[in-house]
Structure 1
Amino acid sequence: MRSPDDPRGGPEVLTSQRRDDRWQAEVAGRWAAELSTASYIPMSRQAVEDALRELVEEVVRALDGASELDEVGRSVGDRLVRIHATGEESLGISLRVLRDALVAEPGGGQVRPLVQLLTGIAAGYAAADRESTFIQQETLKRALLRSKLKADRDLAASEARFGEVFSSTPIGVAICELGGEFVQVNPAWEDTLGYRSADLESMTIHDLFHPDDAEYVAAAYAEIAETGRSGRLDERVRLVRASGEEAWAYLALSVLRGPDGSARRLVTMVEDITELHLLQQQFQYQALHDALTGLPNRQFFRTRLETALCNLPPNARLGLYHLGLDGFQLINDGLGHAVGDHVIRLAARRLEGLVDNEEALVARFGGTEFAVLMWEREGTPGVGEFVAMVNDALSKPIYVGDQGIATSASIGVVQRLAGEGDATEMLWAADVALRRAEAVGKRQWALFDPDRAPEERLEAKRAAVMPGGLATGEFDVAYRSAMDLRDGRTYGVEAQLLWETEEFGTIRHHECLRLAERSGVTLSLRDWMLRTVCEHRAEWWRDGHPTAVAVRLSANQAQDPDLVAVVRRALADDPGEGGELRLCIPTSAVLGPHEEARENVHHLDALGVRTALHGFTGAAEELHQLRTLPVDVVQLDHGMVELVHDALAEGPAALDAPEVDAVRGIVPLITRCGADICVGEIDTDVQARFWRDLGCRIGLGAAYGDAVLSFDVPDLLSKIS
């Protein structure tokens, strides 16, 4: 290689002394930078520079030993391709960078080794690039081949799976032409509907629709075929089996499309729900019918009543009879519930027989209550006549073994024109009429009185909201004075319930007890009252005002087996020194078979709680119980007291009436039994003197002031004493 001082001049390849490591690194850096603008090399910049530095080093060694120039050049070109320096301008960039780096001055013939080297690089690069392209083509071809083979395998597997599902699914599947002609059906379709493939060759799917559903289903098929939208019919449809029987099913329809996306065929899937439909029908029947008699129940009866009111002519008259069998508990208690059920079933059949020739519906409302709805037309029995027919039918003996059993019914009746009727109001009115009939006695009937409807509804509403009033603290206890008629001193106080309501005003003791019986809070109200009274007694005792307190109970409250336990709990926090506690129970509660009430009187006496009887009339059995029970006070019946007060108001002559003499005769009989007599509703001094002169000891009423709340009782006792 010529030295720089050669007199011939010309370009010169750099000498090895100038190709040190620093120089090689700079060339590799420039080379990497230039290549980064021409192609994407999936390596870090440093890795690219390291690889190119190796190539620079190899080029320099080749130039120092010219015999290997072609081989080295091809190697360098090949390695450029391998590191993916294969952009459109990558080769030109590589050659230019090497030329500029290795030639000191332009021109001259001393660059022949370099040209040979660069030519080798270009040849190597081109060969490697062709091989890389070939490899990529082969790789792509093999990938395409593998993809096609996989697609073929997937298609075959998919077709196999479809065939397996098509054949084994329990849901019937049919593929049809757009016109409904069958192309293929699966075994489940054949099993569900009973048709073989050969049977379907001459049929269309429309031939399988039940005549009642054919129009609707055919329209759905036409819409899906036209729009190409798949879907499920919203309603159950009926198909016709090969045997001619109905099959209830859900249908799901979908479209098979051609290569151009247009609808070519329809797929119908049939889910047989015949058994489910029959089961649901059975459940619906059970939900709407009484299990014992098979008659419609209250819910079904109400629905039919609403339908009748809507569909009958406005001037059509409907009669609604609400029946309650009388004294049926005697049959259950005396002969057993099995016999009672037998009687109810026969009663149902007899009621049905009475309306065989009428537009009528008989239902059982539960227990011993039935209802009859009748369209009253010409020839239909009138109310009185039909009521008599009912009781005549029920009174015929029903024989169980050798024993003949008969029953009767109390009946409430309401009549309405269809155009004026309301189902809820009619059912309520019939129930009100029935309760009124039952209050009169057995085998009675009552026609609903619309003039009393507001009163009846108000009564029912007050009873209905009473439990809520008790829970929210609307109740209180008031106290009125009980006076000793002999000396005018305080005998004690009587506790009275007081219900303060925003809607109904103030409801007092007797009305509270009556409403409590209807609302079902009788015992809860009693327990609350006893606790409250004992708390008040304890307060008065602590304030230095001990006094006797009487609490009036209803018959149900007095007959409750838990009465003694309730009183014991109420007295648990009572100091026991606040004056005696006396429970006043109805005289009727201790008469006849009411052992619970009589036992309660004995147990209360052992507990130290005195008992009084109210509503006392002086009858022989009442006097007998007065002598045998630990009772020391009786309160005369309100009717007897009112009779005497009316006579006093009329004048002295009225006091000689036999009924007044009867009252005079009762008083000594009571006192002979060892009991003091209490008289209620004394409003005047004249009345008080009459009862005092007659021998009565205790007086209650307006003459002794109004009832007061517990915190005013001490002042009340002080004033009266």
Structure 2
Amino acid sequence: MSEGTPDAPSGMPDVLDPKRYDADWRAEVARRWAAQLSTASYIPLSRETVEQTLQELVDRVVGALDDPSTVDEVGRTVGSKLVEMHATGEDSLPLSLNLLRDELVQLPGNDAVRRILGLVTAVAAGYAAADRESTFVQQETLKKALLRSKLKADRELAASEARFGEVFTTTPIGVAICDLEGKFVQVNPAFENTLGYQAHDLAAMTIHDLFHSDDAEYLTAAYRELAEGGSSKRLSDRKRLQHATGEEAWVYLAVSVLRGSDGAPRHFVTMVEDITELHLLQDRFQYQALHDALTGLPNRQFFHTRLEAALANLPNDARLALYQLGLDGFELINDGLGYEVGDRVIKAVARRLEQLVENEEGIVARFGGTEFAILLWQQEKTPPVTTLTQQINDLLAEPVYVGDQGIAASAGIGVVERMAADADAASMLWAADVALRRAEAAGKRQWALFDPDTAPEERIESKLAAVMPGGLEHGEFEVLYRPLARMDNGALVALEAELRWETSEYGTLEHGECQRLAERSGVTLSLRDWMLETAWRQLCEWRTAGYEVQLKLSLSPNQGQDPDLAAVIHRVLDSCDIDATWMRLCLPMAAISGDHEEARDNVRYLNSRGIKTSLHGFHGSADELRLLRDLPVDSVRLSDDLVDLVHAAESADVPEVQAIRSLVPLVEACGARLWVGRIDTAEQAATWHEMGCEVGAGAHFGEPLFAFDVPDFLGPEG
């Protein structure tokens, strides 16, 4: 190094120009650097500021050459400062690098270093130019992509708005958009058509103006809750809105909230679908489901509901009376005059019953067929039961004229009275029905008040009649055999088949109770067929074992009147190879009397098959005696009530006994024999034998036998 020049740091290459430590030199380098940069790019600074800035950079570059640890930092600072000065022209970087190279590296003997630095300068310049070009291309590509995306988004938005506009305009669902105050922003044609308003009408209104008065409070609160973000995010309900005509319009209403980008509610969307016709149709269906189609009166279901409501809402001490009516002999009107006339009478009865209670707190219903019901809240002005039942029949007795024919009706009436606190609907309806059945059993135009003392027995009987089919299905019935014997010597004449029902809850029911309950249930014919088949099969087994005995089977009225009786007997007889004469059928007098000609034909047919026929329930009337002459009947059994009358008589000389005694020769004159039952003692048997009766049954001749006991009873010879 030359004298006077500061020592360079140790290890510093000798290619560096020592003039770099001269302040004037640095200022000159900065001046030339500024001049060259001004040719490559526009720098929006004064020349003095540019030179001062570049001189500071030269000072930092020189300092970095003396301290290699700061080279990277200073290099980044110089490059950043040039960009900050906007010295970013295409040639700014190579001009700057070449100037620093020429000023900092000595010229003599350093051509290789200069070439290397020139190559580095070229590489840096090429890289910067390419990077700048790449950035430009990317920017252009991004700008084009953004432009295409915007154009696509604009097209899709336009298409979406067009689709929304088309749907909004053409949908049959009414749609209205309104602000949070309820003012209309936009409505579609369907909304206008549904409610009868024009858009200019709605512009001066709010959605609240359309609420029906009965639903306004509810809907206002619902809209408010939606706007406040309550638990419900959507309202869906059937409600009434106010039509422009002033009528109510039933609509299916769906309301939701439109929110802004910040999530805050901005608008309500209200959709309405006109369901007025559907609502009217449903109302009609509901009315039909709760009312009788012929009379328009409430039906049993509606009556039951009203009865429940009355019991729940009336004071505990309110007294209710339930009248259940059954029209007497109405089949005569239908059969004689036709069902159209019958319907006119039913309508007239309905109107008259309504008229009867029009000034009372009550309701009239038709339960179906010929049964009606009246429910009354008994107050001071309400007639007592005895008076009202009389008024009912007096009112029904007024003729209904069809042409020149006047037709009157009467009714059996069952009545039950209850305090509201002590009653329930089901038990009152049941009690009224029980009372009606008792009134009908007493005759026409009768009424009966429900008797709570007999209620348990009546309920049990009703239950037994209802479960009888199940009892038959589950094998709870069996057939027993009661001996019929001669009065004089007790010799066996026949075995009479009897039913016995071993119920799981109410013990054993004997034949009479079984037949009576069967008449009330739908099992009477099934029970008959089962008894016939079981008893005949048992007789076949006894005959096979060598026992000969005649089988007698007694039927109830419905069983004896069945048109298919002869066919059933025919099928039973053909089930095994035994002569039909071993069967004796005993039919009730009620089954073959009157207009039951088909039942009488069955008797004749069975006789032709060799089956002997008896009649039971004989009272000795002229009609019964005439039947004995007309039909092939060889015996009759006296009615049990007449037998009891004889047994209760103080002596054989009383008129009743003498009258019954006179029946014996009358029956014999008709070609039949008289039998009696309920013979419990030898004295009774002697009395009846003395009166001319040949055959009897009862405890005196033996209790009913199980099938497996019959062989022992018959003895070893059968």
- Which of 252, 255, 271 pairs up with 2:254? 252
- Which of 692, 696, 701 pairs up with 1:695? 692
Is the alpha carbon distance of 1:700 and 1:130 closer, same or farther for their aligned partners in structure 2, counting shifts above 3 Å? farther
Checking the alignment, whether the CA contact within 8 Å between 1:546 and 1:578 is kept in structure 2 is no
Is the alpha carbon distance of 1:510 and 1:165 closer, same or farther for their aligned partners in structure 2, counting shifts above 3 Å? same
Corresponding residue number in structure 2 for 1:555: 557
Query: How far is the alpha carbon of 1:233 from its aligned partner?
Result: 3.2
Q: Deviations over 1:459-504 (max 9, x none)?
A: 1111111111111111110111111234432112000011111101
Name the amino acid aligned to 2:341. Answer: V
Is the aligned partner of 1:324 residue 2:321? Answer: no
Checking the alignment, whether the CA contact within 8 Å between 1:479 and 1:495 is kept in structure 2 is yes
Corresponding residue number in structure 2 for 1:42: none
Corresponding residue number in structure 2 for 1:677: 674
Corresponding residue number in structure 2 for 1:481: 483
Query: Which moved further from structure 2: 621-630 or 346-355?
Result: 621-630
Query: How far is the alpha carbon of 1:231 from its aligned partner?
Result: 4.2
Q: Secondary structure at the match of 1:451?
A: coil
- Which of 262, 265, 280 pairs up with 1:263? 265
Query: How far is the alpha carbon of 1:144 from its aligned partner?
Result: 4.7
Checking the alignment, whether the CA contact within 8 Å between 1:541 and 1:578 is kept in structure 2 is no
Gaps of 5+ in 1: 1-120
Name the amino acid aligned to 2:679. Answer: I
Checking the alignment, whether the CA contact within 8 Å between 1:548 and 1:578 is kept in structure 2 is no
Q: Deviations over 1:194-234 (max 9, x none)?
A: 11111122211111111221111011111111117774435
Query: How far is the alpha carbon of 1:576 from its aligned partner?
Result: 1.2
- Which of 695, 699, 710 pairs up with 1:713? 710
What are the residue-to-residue correspondences of 1:32-431 with 2, within 5 Å? Answer: 144-227=146-229, 231-431=233-433
Corresponding residue number in structure 2 for 1:634: 636
Gaps of 5+ in 2: 1-122
Is the alpha carbon distance of 1:133 and 1:693 closer, same or farther for their aligned partners in structure 2, counting shifts above 3 Å? farther
Corresponding residue number in structure 1 for 2:7: none
Corresponding residue number in structure 1 for 2:103: none
Corresponding residue number in structure 2 for 1:6: none
Query: How far is the alpha carbon of 1:235 from its aligned partner?
Result: 3.8
Query: How far is the alpha carbon of 1:701 from its aligned partner?
Result: 0.8
Q: Secondary structure at the match of 1:199?
A: helix
CA RMSD of aligned residues (A): 2.6
Checking the alignment, whether the CA contact within 8 Å between 1:538 and 1:578 is kept in structure 2 is no
Query: How far is the alpha carbon of 1:147 from its aligned partner?
Result: 3.8
Is the alpha carbon distance of 1:380 and 1:488 closer, same or farther for their aligned partners in structure 2, counting shifts above 3 Å? closer
Query: How far is the alpha carbon of 1:448 from its aligned partner?
Result: 0.8
Checking the alignment, whether the CA contact within 8 Å between 1:537 and 1:578 is kept in structure 2 is no
TM normalised by structure 2 equals 0.80
TM normalised by structure 1 equals 0.79
Checking the alignment, whether the CA contact within 8 Å between 1:231 and 1:252 is kept in structure 2 is no
Distance 2:316 2:188 in 1: 56
Query: How far is the alpha carbon of 1:393 from its aligned partner?
Result: 0.8
Q: Secondary structure at the match of 1:254?
A: strand
Is the aligned partner of 1:527 residue 2:537? Answer: no
Q: Secondary structure at the match of 1:450?
A: coil
Distance 1:167 1:228 in 2: 31
Query: How far is the alpha carbon of 1:261 from its aligned partner?
Result: 2.0
Q: Secondary structure at the match of 1:255?
A: strand
Distance 1:684 1:320 in 2: 49
Is the aligned partner of 1:625 residue 2:622? Answer: no
Query: How far is the alpha carbon of 1:717 from its aligned partner?
Result: 1.2
Distance 2:124 2:556 in 1: 122
Checking the alignment, whether the CA contact within 8 Å between 1:229 and 1:254 is kept in structure 2 is no
Is the alpha carbon distance of 1:489 and 1:129 closer, same or farther for their aligned partners in structure 2, counting shifts above 3 Å? farther
Q: Secondary structure at the match of 2:322?
A: strand
Query: How far is the alpha carbon of 1:695 from its aligned partner?
Result: 2.6
Is the alpha carbon distance of 1:704 and 1:458 closer, same or farther for their aligned partners in structure 2, counting shifts above 3 Å? same
Distance 1:554 1:368 in 2: 26
Query: How far is the alpha carbon of 1:691 from its aligned partner?
Result: 2.1
Query: How far is the alpha carbon of 1:440 from its aligned partner?
Result: 0.5
Is the aligned partner of 1:491 residue 2:488? Answer: no
Corresponding residue number in structure 2 for 1:509: 511
Corresponding residue number in structure 1 for 2:88: none
- Bigger-Rg structure (1/2): 2
Query: Which moved further from structure 2: 132-141 or 276-285?
Result: 132-141
Q: Deviations over 1:665-720 (max 9, x none)?
A: 11122122222222211111122222223332222111122212212211111189
Query: How far is the alpha carbon of 1:193 from its aligned partner?
Result: 1.0
Checking the alignment, whether the CA contact within 8 Å between 2:235 and 2:256 is kept in structure 1 is no
- Which of 586, 603, 606 pairs up with 1:604? 606
Is the alpha carbon distance of 1:695 and 1:195 closer, same or farther for their aligned partners in structure 2, counting shifts above 3 Å? same
Q: Secondary structure at the match of 2:383?
A: coil
Query: How far is the alpha carbon of 1:349 from its aligned partner?
Result: 0.7
Corresponding residue number in structure 1 for 2:443: 441
Is the alpha carbon distance of 1:598 and 1:578 closer, same or farther for their aligned partners in structure 2, counting shifts above 3 Å? closer
Paired residue total = 600
Distance 1:126 1:200 in 2: 67
Q: Secondary structure at the match of 1:358?
A: coil
Is the alpha carbon distance of 1:230 and 1:307 closer, same or farther for their aligned partners in structure 2, counting shifts above 3 Å? closer
Distance 1:609 1:501 in 2: 33
Corresponding residue number in structure 2 for 1:614: 616
Corresponding residue number in structure 2 for 1:655: 652
Q: Deviations over 1:4-49 (max 9, x none)?
A: xxxxxxxxxxxxxxxxxxxxxxxxxxxxxxxxxxxxxxxxxxxxxx
Q: Deviations over 1:330-366 (max 9, x none)?
A: 1001100000000010111111111121111111111
Query: Which moved further from structure 2: 675-684 or 301-310?
Result: 675-684
Name the amino acid aligned to 1:663. Answer: I
Query: How far is the alpha carbon of 1:659 from its aligned partner?
Result: 1.3
Q: Deviations over 1:303-331 (max 9, x none)?
A: 11111111111111111111111111110
Corresponding residue number in structure 2 for 1:455: 457
Checking the alignment, whether the CA contact within 8 Å between 2:208 and 2:220 is kept in structure 1 is yes
Q: Secondary structure at the match of 2:652?
A: helix
Checking the alignment, whether the CA contact within 8 Å between 2:413 and 2:448 is kept in structure 1 is yes
Q: Secondary structure at the match of 1:614?
A: strand
Query: How far is the alpha carbon of 1:250 from its aligned partner?
Result: 2.2
Q: Secondary structure at the match of 1:211?
A: coil
Q: Secondary structure at the match of 2:298?
A: coil
Distance 1:293 1:578 in 2: 54
Checking the alignment, whether the CA contact within 8 Å between 1:679 and 1:699 is kept in structure 2 is yes
Is the alpha carbon distance of 1:134 and 1:451 closer, same or farther for their aligned partners in structure 2, counting shifts above 3 Å? same
Query: Which moved further from structure 2: 674-683 or 160-169?
Result: 674-683
Is the alpha carbon distance of 1:143 and 1:592 closer, same or farther for their aligned partners in structure 2, counting shifts above 3 Å? same
Checking the alignment, whether the CA contact within 8 Å between 2:237 and 2:254 is kept in structure 1 is no
Distance 1:711 1:700 in 2: 20
Distance 2:260 2:231 in 1: 14
Checking the alignment, whether the CA contact within 8 Å between 1:363 and 1:372 is kept in structure 2 is yes
The percentage of counterpart residues that share the same residue type is: 65
Corresponding residue number in structure 2 for 1:575: 577
